Structure 1
Amino acid sequence: MSRARVWWVRVWDFPRAQLAVLLAAVLVLQVLLLDRGHPANWGVMAATLAALVYQLCWILPYTRLWRPEVRRAAQENKAGPRLRMLTANVLTPNRNAAALLALVREQRPDILVTLESDAWWQQQLEPLEREYPYRVVCPLDNLYDMHVYSRLPLHGAEVKFLVEQDVPSVHASVLLQEEGNGQPQVRVRMHFLHPAPPSPAENEASTERDVELILVAKSLEKERGPVVVTGDLNDVAWSPTTRLFRKLSGLLDPRVGRGMINSFHASYWFARWPLDHFFHSDHFELVQICRLPNIGSDHFPVLIELQYHPANRDLQIGLQANAHDRRDVAEVLKLAPPGAPNPQVPAPPTSAR
């Protein structure tokens, strides 16, 4: 993955679907308007077609033309416990807390994750505290605030600043099922992330984001218990960094074969990308994943419901890391800022330990 990390290069990872549409339109016009009697025009059309195929190769896995990576949970199989999560980047200046509260009451997630939720948002979400008694709060007033609200018990919850002094992540173990009545205890290792994007206003390069994602992925490489990673990763699902994250961690992407589920930008239908993610281990099958109505933010909330069904683990195979990928991992980790606050990723216990 030895490629430029400056923001004005990495930003082109995002609009691949838009570029594909544009290139397809250009190709149609070329076929209709160019004189095919000139060999040079065939070269122009071939170059346009090659560029179109290149863009499609990145995004096709996130269409219904691709085989789903995660199995759909069988309707009749209700034996395994389910985990329902809602992730919402609320946009700090947005003051439409009522919309989010109504959405939470309607969707009734087991876990609610809010990003960019400052002290004002924390106060507005207080009505949820009775229903969500387990919480991790981190209001920073810097657009990287994070709150986790859970109906399910959280164990070993920690707020960490892995790469940047002002960009937190939350790590915890969730008790999905108590032991009893012949059922085993199920603890899920969870990581909630929101790394800073590469942009002229924040980080000139993607280094910090890439390092944080790979640090978390590497910490999961030998994990055998159930895992979920969620958050606004400020990266698209098909980018080289996100693909490397999936290969190293072994986690699955439930959107593969089902659609992009673009969550940003809520105000511009023509410029939307999947920035808010759910990745999970092969212990789970998918009940549903969907984008929810706008709450006044620049991100749409995203909902997922998973069913714990480890009996089918061998039927779900994600991306696999090879020797070249491991060289890429080493290359990324060498870029970790010398003053990184705490590059040790917590490893909350799972039911496999």
Structure 2
Amino acid sequence: MKNAIHIVVAILAVLLIAVSFIPLVETYWWIVRLADFPRLQFLVALLVIGAALLFFVKRAPLATGALFIGVLAAILANATTLWPFRPSGADFVSQCAEDRQLSVMVANVLLGNRNTAPLLEMVLREEPDLFLAMETDEWWDRALSPLAQTMPHRLQKITGSYYGIHLFSRRPLVAPEILNLASPETPAIYAGVTLKSGETIDFVGLHPRPPLPFQSTLGRDAQLYAAALIIRDGEKPAVVAGDLNATPWEAAVGRMQRIGSLNDPRRGYGYVPTYSATSWWQSWPLDHVLHEAGFATMSLRRLGYFGSDHYPYIVRLCRVAEAQDNTPPALHEGDLRQAEAAIEAAHRRSTAPRSKSGGG
């Protein structure tokens, strides 16, 4: 019996070590990219397995010792990855003139969800300046129409799939447009937003494809990079928001942040998972509000359950002088080259026939 338990623990240790390091491989293969999601879950499981291995050191000291060293290395790898998102007391802005504030709320509504009342109540209660809804269709277009009374400026694209997108705004939108950053199947929103101060900032709303079984993440990554390049070439301070179907520690998100000089309010604040609202173990942050230097975070919160598999997420920002904000991550050599290559490859692939796939 003890031998059987030892074998099971050893196998689990090997698997956890492998999935902890496999995301370091630079690839668009879906199973590798999915392994980047449950870093916290891997860390907890490794701590348990590491403790279990200690009971078998005397039985097989060399093999168990080698496995234990591997487990310690995997624990270190996951802990290092998650370290920037520990709750360490983020330096948020406590005061901000009303005309310099901008609040952004995002919600993946879940295409088949028909529980609209709680979501509408949250939007009315929170009073965000911008509300980005994703996985919307014609039914959701009608269901969200009451928001036009307080958020009269809007832009939407109904796709008939999981990638419909709606933007509602209290503030005037300047030259709003729908962009096909990587594929016409996953539209993005790009618009200027006029603050109460009269200044106009840029806003990009995204909902790229998730890593799905037997599908490449090329389209997702290309859309993230394309949005970052738009921001990089723009003259106005910018905010990017949406269900990015990527965790904040993924390589693609890191490259996106470096290219667009984007800061993540989660850093130093906490993990703040927004998916899945219906699972206790599938818990990771997929919904984001990122901003360029020139904004500082006042607050961020995950809101309540409303029937979707995602929780709504709201971030309140203050327009500040760039010197007051955190320094964005520096560009790495090869970032632009890899981003442009991914975008070009995604555009080529988007012209080939594709079947409809699930959202996320």
Deviation of 1:101 (Å): 0.9
Instruction: Report which stretch shifted further, 292-301 or 260-269.
Output: 260-269
Mapping for residues 298-309 of structure 1, pairs under 5 Å = 298-309=309-320
CA distance in 1, matches of 2:81, 2:166: 33
The change in CA–CA distance for 1:15 and 1:42 in structure 2 (over 3 A counts) is same
Give the corresponding residue for 1:316: 326
Match of 2:227, SS state, is helix
**Superposition RMSD in Å:** 2.0
Structure 1, residues 325-353: CA drift from partner, whole Å, max 9, x if none?
34433442342232658xxxxxxxxxxxx
Mapping for residues 273-288 of structure 1, pairs under 5 Å = 273-288=284-299
Structure 2: unaligned runs, 5 residues or longer: 1-23, 352-360
Instruction: Report which stretch shifted further, 322-331 or 110-119.
Output: 322-331
Q: Is the 8 A contact 1:162 1:340 kept in 2?
A: no
Q: Is the 8 A contact 1:163 1:340 kept in 2?
A: yes
Q: Is the 8 A contact 1:134 1:152 kept in 2?
A: yes
Give the corresponding residue for 2:345: 335
Amino acid at match of 1:148: L
CA distance in 2, matches of 1:4, 1:333: 15
Q: Does 1:14 align with 2:33?
A: no
State TM-score, norm by structure 2: 0.86
Structure 1, residues 155-205: CA drift from partner, whole Å, max 9, x if none?
110012222222111100000134xxxxxx3111000000111213xx710
Q: Is the 8 A contact 2:292 2:328 kept in 1?
A: no
Q: Does 1:262 align with 2:283?
A: no
Give the corresponding residue for 1:56: 79
Match of 1:295 among 296, 303, 306: 306
The change in CA–CA distance for 1:2 and 1:223 in structure 2 (over 3 A counts) is farther
The change in CA–CA distance for 1:224 and 1:316 in structure 2 (over 3 A counts) is farther
CA distance in 2, matches of 1:170, 1:304: 18
CA distance in 2, matches of 1:150, 1:337: 30
Structure 1, residues 138-163: CA drift from partner, whole Å, max 9, x if none?
22220111111111000110012222
Structure 1: unaligned runs, 5 residues or longer: 179-184, 342-353
Q: Is the 8 A contact 1:221 1:249 kept in 2?
A: yes
Match of 1:189, SS state, is strand
Structure 1, residues 199-230: CA drift from partner, whole Å, max 9, x if none?
13xx7100111111111112222434210000
Q: Does 1:168 align with 2:187?
A: yes
Give the corresponding residue for 2:27: 4
